[in-house]
Each structure stands twice: as structure tokens, then as C-alpha cells.
Chain A
Amino acid sequence: MQRVDRRIIYTLIFISVIVPTLWPLQLPTAVTPETQSFFNAVDSLPSGSRILFPFDCWPSTLAETEPMAVAALRHCFRKDLRVVGLSNVGMGGPSVLERVLLQVGGEFGKEYGTDYVNLGYKANYQAVLLGMGSKIEDIFPTDHHGTRLAELPLMREVPNYDSLRFTVIISDNAMVDYWVSLVNARYGMPMVAAVTAVMAPKQLSYVQAHQLQGLLGGMKGAAEYERLIGAIDKANRGMDSQSLIHLLVIGFIVLGNVGYFVTRDKRRAPAGQQG
């Protein structure tokens, strides 16, 4: 029992992922205080506020980060917030952000250039984060499509951080630390973050220090947020699979320990007394 072939484990995990995908269980998800704080922080912004929306994610983590980005953007557009997007991940970041902005912007009838902008990517994140505090146009002379910022109505109103009210960070790497230490600490920009589940425990210390006003952690955080905004989507469907996998892992752990204790007792018993 304590030496189950890993192929059996992998097969059962595979089944646990596929079955709920084909036959959704529609299990409810409890909302954590950090997700509620994230929601409250965005919900308290006045309609028409300009916010920054960094999408600092690699394509590999899209299963976790894209649902969070979509849910957060739906909330922002529902509140008629005006979104300035950018990415500090060159490989895939701006194009995925573009896709998400187009998808959610289309749902709410938002217009590019007026309601949202995608600035794209520039190398050297330190220069980007600090430079935007002085003048965004020095760092991004054009947007992701090559249009000069002066030609975009939204960007004419946003010369630097002073014109932005809030930041919603979507990230799967250490960029959250840099946003907090370089932008929140120096410019006082209030912010929330949506990060992968593995990163969430570390970022909780920022929430406790009030450097972040809320936190979404992984697919569960996205599922909670979808419930709060009343738009059940991919994350909630994904939580069905995650729930089954958690139970399966717990089952294997229990099985392994049962096997361990049984064989330990057998090893301890003198030879003539076994069985």
C-alpha cells in the first residue's frame, strides 16, 4: 500500500480532471476574507476611475491567471472603470492581455482607446515601473498596436501614476513584489493582486501589512470572485476537478500511511509471532 505505482496515481488524477470537465458537479465555493477585500476595494472605486491593469503572466499559468483576469476585468468594466493595461512579461503577456481585453470589453460594449488601452511590453521592469511615475509616454511612446499615446483619449488623461486611482495586478512571478516595493511604497498607489495559488501564502504578508488591499489566490480565488460578481465561468468549472484531485491526494496519503503503519508493525513483531 505504500508503494503504489506512480502510473496508477497519474491515471486516477487524469480521470479526476476529465470526469468533472465532462459532467460538471457545480460545487459551491466559500469566499475567503482576502477575496472579499479584493472585491470591496474594486467595488468602492467611483465610476469612471482610471486604473492600471498589469498582466505580468507567462502563458504557462493561464489556467489560473486568465480566469482571475477575466473576472477582475468584468468587475472593472461593470463599474465603468477605465483600464490602462500593460505587461512586464515579453513572451505572450501583451497578446494574452489583448485577447482578454477584447473579449471582456466586447461583452460590455467598451471602446479601445477611450475605455481601455493596452500599452504592451517594455524591457527592464525597474525602468518601466519607476519611469511611469514621471511620464508614461517616456516609457511607452506608443501602445501595443503602435498608436501614439497622444492619439488615445484615455492616455491623454493619464500622464503618470498621479492620474491613476488604483492598480489591479495579475501576476505569476515576483513582479508583485516589485509593484509593491517600487510603486506602492514610493508613490502610495493602492493596489490589489491576483496571483497563482503557490504564490498566495507569501503575498498574504503584504495583505496583512496593508500594502495590498486584497488578494486572489489561484483558481479558487478566481472561482470565489466569479461568485461575488455573479458571473460563474471557467474557474468554478475548474474547481470541480480541483476538489476531486484534493480528495484523491488525501486518499493516497491516508493509504500510504496505513501501509506504513502496517509494515512497521510487521517489522517490529518478532519473527515467530507474525500473522
Chain B
Amino acid sequence: MKHRLPILVAFISGAIMIVAFFGRGSVVDAVSDEALRGQTIVAGIALLLGVFSIVQVHWGRITTHHSDRVYSAVLLLCLAMMAGFGVFAGVDAGGVYDWLFQKIQAPMMATMFSMLAFFIASAAYRAFRARTIPSTILLVTAIVVMLGRIPMGQYLYDGLPSWANWIMVVPSVAVQRGIIIGAALGAASMSLRILLGIERTYLGRG
């Protein structure tokens, strides 16, 4: 029963959502709304699990004199500070919490995103080698698109921007559609396996 109950719950939950998708009516809509609300509540409570995990790991590092204990202390201090300001001073615009988010957190997030510019350069330099015919086609296509998307490309050759646009609009979209269709079928198959209890590794069972 211990192993069958989660599978039964998964099947019933899935069946409810399928009926809600194809069905119409006050009962069906009410059950579906309750399920969505329940999902939101569970996700909210699960945040406590996450906070507990972080505190457990990093407090453990501090008490066992781990070499990175200073960073763990900073992390716990920041966690307590943001939580404290959020709970006691509110999260409204203009408050301390909002200031900390806008002036510290948001710029740090933007900084991490901007590192992509550096990493894409090193990845492209390392990966784009004309070893085989397909990799040569990839290499040439990448150069055409990169040149076509900047003004210098137009200076070099007038038609380059429209070539680049054609590559993005025709073969690129076609390939993406193919991948999306294949992935969607894979997802549907996996969902069916989960609903029927064939796929159980997500429960911790092989």
C-alpha cells in the first residue's frame, strides 16, 4: 500500500485535470480550481523546506569549522536580514526590502546574466571547428547570422541581413518545430507512463 498509494494519488490527480480540460460545468471547474489552489498552497509551504535545507547545510558548515564557513555565515545573515525586513517592514515599493532588492539583488542578477556574453565567446571559440561537413555548415551559418544581425554586415554585403533573417525564419524555425513536436510526444508518453504507474523513478522507486 505504501508504494501503491502515491501511484493511485498520481492517477486520480491526473484524471481530474484531464476531465477538467475536456469537461465543462460547475463541479468540474470547482474541482479543477481547488486542485490548482492546492498546488499553490503546497508550493508555498514547500518554501519552508527549502529554507530549512539551506539553514541546515550552512549552519552545519559553521559549526564544523568548514573552510568556507565565512561565506555560510554571510549567507545566513543575508537570509535573516531579508526575511526580517520583509516580514516586519513590508515589501512595498520604497521600503528597505524593496531597496535591497532593487539596489543589490537585481544588479547581481543582471551581472550574472551579462556573464553570458563572455561565456558565449569562449564557447563559440572552442566549439565552432570545421571538423566535418555538418560542423562546417554550422560554422558558416553562425557567421552569416552574426554578421547579418549587425550594421557592419550590411556594409559588407547588402543582402546579408535578409540572408540572416531567412536562416532564422525558415530553417531555424522548422528545426525548432521538429524538436518541439518530438519533445511534446516524449512528454506525452512520459506523462502517460506516470499516470499508469509504469514510470516510478520520481517516487524513488526503480
Contact = CB atoms under 8 A, between A and B. Distances in A.
A–B contact with Cβ pairs below 8 Å: the answer is yes
Interface of A: 2, 4, 6, 9-10, 13-14, 17, 27-30, 32-34, 58-63, 91-92, 95, 98, 123-124, 126-127, 144, 200-202, 204-205, 208, 220, 239, 242-243, 245-250, 252-253, 255-257, 260-261
B4 interface: no
Contacts of B154: 30
Nearest to B107: A59
Given A95-B102, A243-B151, A249-B146, A201 B168 contact: yes
Nearest to A61: B113
B15 interface: no
Given A9-B122, A127-B36, A250 B146 contact: yes
A249 B126 CA distance: 11
A63 B126 CA distance: 27
Interface in B99-139: 101-102, 105-106, 109-110, 112-114, 117-118, 120-122, 124-126, 128-131, 139
Contact of B151 (A4, A29, A91): A29
Interface in B14-41: 33, 36-37, 39-40
B146 A256 contact: no
Interface in B57-108: 93, 98, 101-102, 105-106
Contact of B146 (A59, A202, A246): A246
Given A256-B126, A257-B130, A28 B151 contact: yes
B55 to A, nearest CB: 21
Contacts of A204: 168-169, 172-173
Given A204-B173, A253-B139, A123 B117 contact: no
Contacts of B152: 27, 243, 246-247
Contacts of B151: 27-30, 239, 243
A226 B152 CA distance: 19
Nearest to B111: A60
B8 interface: no
- The range of chain B's interface size is 35 or more
A198 to B, nearest CB: 9
Given A60-B113, A92-B101, A242-B150, A13 B173 contact: no
Interface of B: 33, 36-37, 39-40, 93, 98, 101-102, 105-106, 109-110, 112-114, 117-118, 120-122, 124-126, 128-131, 139, 142-143, 146-147, 149-152, 154, 161, 165, 168-169, 172-173, 176-177, 180
Contacts of B149: 220, 246
Given A92-B101, A246-B146, A257 B121 contact: no
A205 B109 CA distance: 30
A44 to B, nearest CB: 22
A62 B151 CA distance: 23
B109 A59 contact: yes
Given A98-B93, A205-B173, A246-B152, 5 more contacts: A13-B117, A58-B109, A60-B113, A92-B101, A124-B40
Listed from nearest, the 5 A-B pairs whose CB atoms lie closest are A59-B106, A60-B109, A27-B151, A243-B150, A60-B113
Nearest to B114: A63
B121 A248 contact: yes
Nearest to B155: A27
Contacts of B161: 30, 32
A201 B122 contact: no
A59 B121 contact: no
Which of A33, A242, A248, A249 has the largest number of chain B CB atoms within 10 A?
A249
Contacts of B130: 257, 260-261
Contacts of B173: 201, 204-205, 208
Given A208-B173, A260-B129, A260-B130, A246 B117 contact: no
A268 to B, nearest CB: 14
Given A95-B102, A124-B36, A247 B150 contact: yes
B109 A9 contact: no
Nearest to A59: B106
Contacts of A123: 40
A13 B120 CA distance: 10
Given A205-B176, A249-B121, A62 B110 contact: yes
